Structure 1
Amino acid sequence: MEKSPKPIASCAMPVMPGMKIKTNTPLVKKAREGVMEFLLANHPLDCPICDQGGECDLQDQSIRFGSDRSRLKTCDEKRAVEDKNFGPLVKTVMTRCIQCTRCVRFANEVAGAVELGTSGRGNDMQIGTYVEKALNTEMSGNVIDLCPVGALTNKPYAFNARPWELKKTESIDVLDAIGSNIRIDSKGLEVLRVVPRLNDDINSEWISDKTRWACDGLKRQRLTTPLVRKNGQFVETSWQEALGTVSVALKGIKGDEIVAMAGQLADAESLVVLKDLFNSLGSENIRLDSKHLESTPAGLTDFRSSYIVNSTLNGVEEADVILLVGTNPRHEAAILNTRIRKAYLNGLDVGLIGEIPAALNYEYEHVGTDPSSLADLVNGSSAFAKKLSSAKKPLIIVGSNILEREDSSSILANVAILSEKLKSNSSPEWKPYAFLQRAASWTAALDLGFSSSSISPTANPKFIYLLNADSFDENEIPADAFVVYQGHHGDRGAHLADVILPGSAYTEKSATFVNTEGRTQITRAAVPPPGQAREDWKILRALAEVSGVDLPYEETLEVRLRFNDIAPSLVSYDDVEGSEFYNVAVQQLKNASSSQLSRTPFSLPIRDFYMTDPISKASVTMAKASKVNNICFLPVFKV
C-alpha cells in the first residue's frame, strides 16, 4: 500500500477510499518469497511420491511466488510428525501439514465433527482427533479437497494414477436424491475417483463420502452378459435369445397380470420407455420398488409440489425454524443436512418427530416419536408450535419413508393443515411444505405417472419386470411368476430372476435424473459399459420391437422429446420450475384424509448410510467405512 512502511496482509486490511495498492513491486515479491520460504522450511521433499503431486496448491504457489533457491542448510533438522489414523477413507502424512487448519474449520463448522482439532503450540502443534479414532462424519472426504498440501489424501485412490493421466468427465451423482454435481476421473475402462464440482444451488463444493468412494463398487458384482435360468442355473446367452425368451413369456399373459417395478437408480429415459411399453401391453401396474409401500395418498402425484422440496435446497438455509417429520437428513440427504447445520449455526431452531436417538450433528428438540405429535402442533398446544407460529420462514421437511406406512394419508393431511396455518403467518412467497426424497429416480418416476403404492388390481401377477429394482418385498413376487431383471449389479432382484438383462451404470451413459427439489440434470458417460451391457432404454426399446410393440423413438433425443408430452418439467434442464400450484397441492393433501393420527412410532429407512444401493453394497471401501463408522454414528446433540 502506498505510503505504508511495510507490506500489508490483504485478508486483514479493510478497503478504504483513496487506497493505492501495488501487487507486483520488488518489496511484494520479496515478502512473498519469504512467506513461501517459511512454509517450505519444514515441508518434506515428497513431491515425486506424493499423491497430491500435479494438483497441489503448495506446488503451484511455490512455482508462482517462491524463490529459486533456499537458505535452509542441509544440516538443519526438519520437523517430523507421526501420522494419524482417520479411518479407511482419508490417508494422512502429517509431516507435510503446514497447519493452515482448513480441515479443522471444515470439520467443526460444516461437517459437525467436533473431535478434529489442534494440540500443542508453536513448532509442536499437531492436527488430529486428540484420541485416535475415525472421523465421525459422512462428509470427511471433503478435507482432501481442502488440504492445500499432501497431508490429507484419498486412501483408496493412493498411488493408482497421476492427475494428468486421468480423463475428466463432468456428471452428477445418483446415490441419493440431491443430484450433487461431480467430476468422474477415469483411466482406460475404470473409474478411479469422484470429486465434487462447484454448484452453489445444489451441493456448493461438497460431496458425501458415499458419493466420493462408492465408485469402486462399479467394477464388482457387475452383470456383463445376458443370462437365462435353465434347470435352476444361470446360463450365458446372446441378446437375441434373452429378448426372445422374455417375448415368449409375455405372450398370452393379460395386461393386468403384468407388473413393472422401477428401482432407485433408474434414469428417466428408461422409465418413460418402460411405461410406454407396458401401457402398450395393457398394463397399468407400474410402480416404484420401495419395500412395503401401502397406499399413495390421494392427490400426491397430481401436483409436483406434493413430492418435492418447494423451498429449494438453497432456500433451506433461509428457514428460521425447521420441523423434521419421519426423516433423518444426515443419512437420507447428507448435503441437505450441511445446509441445515449452516442455518443452525446462524440461529435456526430444529424440531424432530421421529425415532431417537437421531444421529444429527446439531441440537434439536424432540417433539414426539409418532404421528400423533402432529396433532399438538396443529392445535398449537405444543411448546414447539409456538416457535413455528412465530417464525417468518418455517419449514416442515417430510421424509419419503412415510409412504411406507398405512397412515401416510393422515400424516400428509395434518402436515398440509399445519403448512397452511404457517403460510398465513410467514412471508407471502415462502412455501413451508417440503417432501424429501431419498432415491435419485423417484421424483422423475412420479412426474411420469409411476405409482408409489402396492399393486392393487392384481393379487397374483404372472410376469414381473424389475428395472434396477432391488428394494421390493419378496412376498409380492409369486413363486410361479416369470421374473425379468434389468440392471447393472447382481443384487437382490437378480437372484429371483428367470432372465437377466445387463444394463449400464450412471457413469456409463448419458441419462436424465431429477433431484428432490425438482431440478432436471444429465449424467455423462465417463467409461463404456462392460462386456455386452447396454443402455437401459435401448434394452427396453429392443424388447418392444421383439414383442411386436411399436414405440415412436429410436434415438436418445427422441426419447427426451417424449418427456415433453408427459412431463415438460423433465426437459427444463438445470432449472427448478416454480411451484405454481403449491396452494392447490397443499389443499388437496389436506382433504385427502380425515382419519385419526396413529401412535405407531416412526422408523428410519436407512440404518447404514454406507450401504443403501447396489453400487455402494458392492463397494469394498464402503464396507470398510460401514464397519468403522457406523459404531460412531451416535447422537451428537439432543435438547
Structure 2
Amino acid sequence: MLLTLGRIVVLGMKIKTNTPVAKKAREGVMEFLLMNHPLDCPICDQGGECDLQDQSMAFGADRGRFTEMKRSVVDKNLGPLVKTVMTRCIQCTRCVRFATEVAGVQDLGMLGRGSGEEIGTYVGKLMTSELSGNVIDICPVGALTSKPFAFKARNWELKGTETIDVTDAVGSNIRVDSRGPEVMRIVPRLNEDINEEWISDKTRFCYDGLKRQRLNDPMIRGPDGRFKAVTWQDALAVVAEVLHQVKREEIAGVAGKLSDAESMMALKDFVNKMGSDKVFCEGNGPNPPADLRSNYLMNTSIAGLEKADVFLLVGTQPRVEAAMVNARIRKTVRATQAKVAYIGPPTDFNYDHEHLGTGPQTLVEIVEGRHPFCSTLQSAKNPVIIAGAGLFEREDQDALFTIIQSIANKFNVIRPDWNGLNVLLLHAAQAAALDLGLVANPIESIKSAKFLYLMGADDVSLDKVPDDAFVVYQGHHGDKAVYRANVILPSSAFSEKEGSYENTEGCTQWTIPAVPTVGDARDDWKIIRALSEVAGAQLPYDSLLAVRERISMVAPNLVHVDEREPCTISSEVKPPVKQQVSFTPFKTVVENFYMTDAITRASKIMAQCSATLLKK
C-alpha cells in the first residue's frame, strides 16, 4: 500500500469507469453545466463541432431536473471578428486565459460573483489583438463564434483542404473549408514547429478577398485607355510581338510577394532565355544578401526561439510582421523570463521589453562595447538577434548587416551548437526568390525597362518606369499595378493552385488547391510556359513535376517538402564592406497589419478591421 498525494493507492487496484455510480456522477456534473445553457443547438454556429454537445451526448442524461428560469447575459461587442452569445457561456475561462497568456492583452476577464458571474471586457473596449480569432477555436460552446461566418454554412457541408497561409513569411498551417467554388472559412492546423495551434486574424479572416476584385479574362488596353477582354491566344500574341520589338537588356521581370517557387523559376528562365538577367522579387531590396542562406533566414528556427534567454530585435516589429513568431517570443518570455531589447521606432509589444534606440547609432555603441546592454548579451547563454527584412530596403544595408554580424561574433551569438543570428522575412515569396537567384537591382531594372513583366507585383514602385514602357500584369486581383498595365493575364490565387513556398526559417511547404480557378485564369507557371512558346523561346518543361526537377538543379532544398534545410554557419567569409552606416532611424515597415497584399486589400472584413481596430 502506498500513500500518494494524500490518497491511498493499493498496488494492483482496478479502477472502473462504467459503473452505475461513475455514470451517475458524470451525469450530475453535466446537469450542472447545462443548468443555464440554452437549447440553441439548432441555430448555433457551433453545432456539429461543439465540445459541450459531444460531451453531453457521450456522458449526459436524457433529461435534466432543473426547472428554474435560465440565466440571461447581455452580449459583448468584441469587434468585427468575434460574435458573442454570452448566454451560452459556461464560464470555463479558456478565452480569458488565452487573451492573458497567449495574446498578451488584458481585454477579457471574469466579472461579478455567484449567479451574476459573467465573462466580458472590463471597460467595454474591443478585443484589440492580432490573434483574437483563436478564441473561436478554444471556446467549447457557441458563446464565441466567427462573426463573418455566422449563419453561412454548417461544418458538415464543407470540404476541408489542408494547405498553408501566404499572407506573411511564417507559412502557418491552415485548413481551408470550402463549399462548391467558394472559400467559406479558414481555420488552423496543428504544427508545433511553426504556428502551434494558432493563426493570426489576417490569416483567418482574409478569405473573402479571394472572391472580390478578381481578374477573370485576359485583357488588352485599347487606344482609348479602356481594357477589352480577349482570348488567351490574342493576349499572348500581343505580348510576344512587343517582346521582339525591344532590346534584350530592356526586358525586366518582377515577382510579387505571393509568388510560388515554380512560377518564379519559370519567370527567371523565361527572362533569361530572352537575353536579360533583370529579374527580382519585390521586398528584397537593391542588393539582398543572397550569397549564403544563413544571411537571410531564421537560423534559430521558429521553435528554436524557445531556447533563447535574450532577444535583440533590430528594425523589426514581429507583432505586425509575423504574428506567430511574436507569439513564440512572448511564450518564451513568459516561460523563462527571457529579456527582450528592441531597436526601432516606438511600438506596442505585448510583453516586457527595453527600447534601446531608434536607429543604427545604438548598434554602433553595442559593437564598440559602450552600451549598457552589452553586459546582458555577454552573460546570455543563448542570445538571439532578429533583424527585420525591412533593412533590405535601406541603402546602407550591407554596412548594417556587417555591424550585426560583428555583434553576433563578439557576444557568442554564433557557435557550433547555436546560431542565434536571424532575419525575419516579410513575404511568402522572399526566401524562395533568394534561393532561386532573383536578385537583380530593382531600381536599375525598372529605369531601363521598355518591357516590364509584373507577376503579381503590386507593391513595387512604378514611378520610374519609362512612359513608353510596355507593362504586362499577371495576377489574380485588380490591385495597384493594374492601372499601369497594357496587358492583363489572369492567374490563380494560392487557394486554387499547387505551389511550393519556403517560409522564413527555410522550411518548404506546399499549397493544395481547395477551390477551382476563377473565370479563365491559369496557374502562373503555365502562363509563362505558354508565352515562351508563342515568343519562340520555349521553356523545357510541360508539367509541375518537370518544373520542380528544374528547381532541384538550382535550389535542391525547395523540393524537400516539410523539411527545414539547415544553413551553413558563416562568420568570417563575408568580404569587407566599404559602405558607410547612415544614422537615419529605422522605419515602420508594416503600416497596416490587416492590409499587406492584394488579397487582404480586397477583403471587406480586413477593411472593417482597419477602420475599427486601428482607430486612435
Q: Under a length normalisation based on structure 1, what TM-score does the superposition of the two structures give?
A: 0.93
User: Could you report, residue by residue, the CA deviation over 1:360-415 in whole angstroms, capped at 9, with x for unpaired residues?
Assistant: 11111111111121111112221111111110110110000001111101110000
- Secondary structure at the aligned position of 2:327 is classed as helix
Residue number in structure 1 paired with 2:87: 95
Asked if 1:46 corresponds to 2:66, the answer is: no
Residue number in structure 1 paired with 2:287: 296
- Contact preservation (8 Å) 1:172, 1:181: yes
- Contact preservation (8 Å) 1:487, 1:501: yes
Measure, in 2, the Cα distance between the counterparts of 1:457 and 1:265: 20
1:394 to 1:17, Cα distance in 2 relative to 1, 3 A:
farther
- Secondary structure at the aligned position of 1:210 is classed as helix
Structure 1 residue 628, shift from structure 2 partner: 1.2
Structure 1 residue 15, shift from structure 2 partner: 9.7
Q: Which moved more, 1:488-497 or 1:142-151?
A: 488-497
Candidates 596, 600, 618, aligned match of 2:584: 600
Residue number in structure 2 paired with 1:484: 472
Measure, in 2, the Cα distance between the counterparts of 1:501 and 1:19: 72
Q: Equivalent residues in 2 for 1:512-527 (5 A)? A: 512-527=500-515
Structure 1 residue 149, shift from structure 2 partner: 0.1
1:362 to 1:15, Cα distance in 2 relative to 1, 3 A:
farther
Q: Which moved more, 1:111-120 or 1:327-336?
A: 111-120
- Secondary structure at the aligned position of 2:252 is classed as strand
Q: Equivalent residues in 2 for 1:27-426 (5 A)? A: 27-73=21-67, 76-231=68-223, 232-290=225-283, 293=285, 295-296=286-287, 300-346=289-335, 347-356=337-346, 358-423=347-412
- Contact preservation (8 Å) 1:288, 1:453: no
Measure, in 1, the Cα distance between the counterparts of 2:366 and 2:112: 49
Candidates 17, 20, 42, aligned match of 1:23: 17
User: Could you report, residue by residue, the CA deviation over 1:38-79 in whole angstroms, capped at 9, with x for unpaired residues?
Assistant: 001100000000000000000000000111121122xx1101
Structure 1 residue 119, shift from structure 2 partner: 0.8
Measure, in 2, the Cα distance between the counterparts of 1:344 and 1:329: 14
Q: Which moved more, 1:610-619 or 1:64-73?
A: 64-73
CA RMSD of aligned residues (A): 2.0
User: Could you report, residue by residue, the CA deviation over 1:508-561 in whole angstroms, capped at 9, with x for unpaired residues?
Assistant: 011110000000000000101111011111011100111111211101111111
- Contact preservation (8 Å) 1:443, 1:518: yes
Asked if 1:497 corresponds to 2:485, the answer is: yes
1:19 to 1:202, Cα distance in 2 relative to 1, 3 A:
farther
Measure, in 2, the Cα distance between the counterparts of 1:192 and 1:140: 19
- Residue type at the aligned position of 2:593: F
- Secondary structure at the aligned position of 1:600 is classed as coil
- Secondary structure at the aligned position of 1:631 is classed as coil
Residue number in structure 1 paired with 2:427: 439
Measure, in 1, the Cα distance between the counterparts of 2:456 and 2:573: 32
Residue number in structure 1 paired with 2:569: 582
Structure 1 residue 252, shift from structure 2 partner: 2.8
User: Could you report, residue by residue, the CA deviation over 1:600-637 in whole angstroms, capped at 9, with x for unpaired residues?
Assistant: 000011111001001000000000011111136xxxxx
Q: Under a length normalisation based on structure 2, what TM-score does the superposition of the two structures give?
A: 0.97
Measure, in 2, the Cα distance between the counterparts of 1:16 and 1:179: 50
Measure, in 1, the Cα distance between the counterparts of 2:573 and 2:247: 34
Candidates 610, 628, 632, aligned match of 2:594: 610
Structure 1 residue 456, shift from structure 2 partner: 3.2
- Secondary structure at the aligned position of 1:587 is classed as coil
Structure 1 residue 19, shift from structure 2 partner: 6.3
Structure 1 residue 31, shift from structure 2 partner: 1.2
- Residue type at the aligned position of 2:453: Y
Aligned residues: 614
Measure, in 2, the Cα distance between the counterparts of 1:368 and 1:153: 41
Candidates 550, 554, 562, aligned match of 2:550: 562
- Contact preservation (8 Å) 1:610, 1:616: yes
Measure, in 2, the Cα distance between the counterparts of 1:55 and 1:561: 42
- Contact preservation (8 Å) 2:447, 2:465: no
Measure, in 2, the Cα distance between the counterparts of 1:398 and 1:593: 18
- Contact preservation (8 Å) 2:259, 2:455: yes
- Secondary structure at the aligned position of 1:423 is classed as coil
Measure, in 2, the Cα distance between the counterparts of 1:87 and 1:377: 42
Aligned-residue identity in percent: 53
User: Could you report, residue by residue, the CA deviation over 1:467-490 in whole angstroms, capped at 9, with x for unpaired residues?
Assistant: 000111122311110000000000
Measure, in 1, the Cα distance between the counterparts of 2:10 and 2:136: 36
1:486 to 1:401, Cα distance in 2 relative to 1, 3 A:
same
Structure 1, gaps ≥5 residues long: 633-639
Candidates 422, 445, 467, aligned match of 2:455: 467
Q: Which moved more, 1:53-62 or 1:362-371?
A: 362-371
Measure, in 2, the Cα distance between the counterparts of 1:123 and 1:452: 67
- Contact preservation (8 Å) 2:162, 2:512: yes
Measure, in 2, the Cα distance between the counterparts of 1:102 and 1:392: 34
Structure 1 residue 427, shift from structure 2 partner: 6.0
Measure, in 1, the Cα distance between the counterparts of 2:502 and 2:155: 31
